[in-house]
Amino acid sequence: MISEVSYKSGINVIHNNKRICLDPTKQIHCDLIFVSHAHTDHLHQRRTSKAAPKIITSNVTSRIAKHRGYILGTEFKEHNFHLLDSGHILGSKALLIDDELYYTGDISIRQRAFMKPAFIPKAKMLLIESTFGIPDYVFPKIEEIIHETNYIISKMYSNGIPVVLTGYPLGKAQILSYIFKHWEPIYVHDSILEYNNIYSKFGVNINSYKSFSQAETEGLLSPNRPWLLIAPLSSSRKGFLHYVKEKYNPIMIGFSGWAIKSNYKYILGLDYCFPLSDHCDYNELLAVVKKCDPDMIYTFHGFAAQFACSLTKMGYNASPINKKRITC
């Protein structure tokens, strides 16, 4: 029985007199902690020597988190807690408690290369992320993005110009490594190579690419011949991408759900940007709600208040998790 849902350094749920913390952002007293996936905004560092809390997570998430320097604690299984694929990144899970509460974590219901869509159960209470929870964010089909990107790469290759594809190093970069593996030669940023190798260990068939540093050391990179680099998404006006741009003058293509806004590529100083996301867009969030068919909905992250208002106007009982009341 769920007796309380609240927000304090993450979402807290009281179930059968036990406090369950969902993706807490810092150390907090809980009976159980659920970690949905291994992005750092869903992890926290333990800062005491006390016994590690009981952790509910996937083995893959635990392994990736450890690689990132986070020791989650003792993995624990509760018979009425079910981990369901959330479709976000490798190892990401949603949490279903009995048939009463469904917590999505970060979620995607879109097939993307080797990433399968999330499984959506029926539940009385839905806790749903709303990163792109306004109608502005409706993404094109992934096939269209792949086609346009391949066209740009082909055009650049024909003119002897290198290309850099940028995305979040854990999750997005592995999708890019897989989708565009037919181009040669391909190199990857050193940090991305580490995650590619982890994905490969868990059965995802990502080609074994040379790292950027190795390619540069071996003199394989030139501004006058074509090659493809997959790198972390950031501004090309500073840091690594600025260095690559200054030295090799490649065409730079970014991939992010935020790219639905036309000014996004200018903010980061990219040549092209496509709205390829590991999250649901607005219409897909509505599809999750419809399929779950809950009595109560709590929204969190991103456009939480706006998405709750949209759902309220559609007749749902909805509220952002960190606000008791909203005016729509």
**Is the predicted pLDDT of residue 254 greater than 80, yes or no?**
yes
Average pLDDT over residues 230-248: 93
**Predicted local confidence at residue 110, as pLDDT:** 97
Residues 202-227: pLDDT tens digits?
999 898 899 999 999 999 999 999 99
> Comparing 75 with 307, which gets the higher pLDDT?
307
Would you place residue 237 in the very low, low, confident or very high pLDDT band (cuts 50, 70, 90)? confident
Domains of the chain, each with CATH number or no CATH: 2-137+279-320 (3.60.15.10), 142-274 (3.40.50.10890)
Give dist(CA 172, CA 232) in Å, integer. 9
The closest alpha carbon to 180, from 276, 280, 79, 282, belongs to: 276
Residues 84-136: pLDDT tens digits?
999 999 999 999 999 899 999 999 999 999 999 999 999 999 999 999 999 99
State pTM to two decimals.
0.93
Would you place residue 52 in the very low, low, confident or very high pLDDT band (cuts 50, 70, 90)? low
Average pLDDT over residues 149-178: 97
**Predicted local confidence at residue 140, as pLDDT:** 98
**Predicted local confidence at residue 322, as pLDDT:** 81
**Predicted local confidence at residue 192, as pLDDT:** 96
Looking at the DSSP bridge assignments, the partners of residue 229 are 164, 187
**Predicted local confidence at residue 99, as pLDDT:** 86
**Predicted local confidence at residue 3, as pLDDT:** 65
Residues 275-295: pLDDT tens digits?
999 999 999 999 999 999 999
**Predicted local confidence at residue 127, as pLDDT:** 97
**Predicted local confidence at residue 186, as pLDDT:** 97
**Predicted local confidence at residue 15, as pLDDT:** 87
Least confident of 40-49, 201-210, 280-289, 313-322: 40-49
Question: β-pairing, 228-232 with 318-320?
Answer: unpaired
Would you place residue 181 in the very low, low, confident or very high pLDDT band (cuts 50, 70, 90)? very high
**Is the predicted pLDDT of residue 48 greater than 60, yes or no?**
no
Least confident of 58-72, 129-143, 155-169, 272-286: 58-72
% residues pLDDT > 90 (the chain): 75
% residues pLDDT > 70 (the chain): 95
Average pLDDT over residues 181-187: 97
Is residue 109 within 8 Å of 130, Cβ to Cβ?
no
**Predicted local confidence at residue 38, as pLDDT:** 92
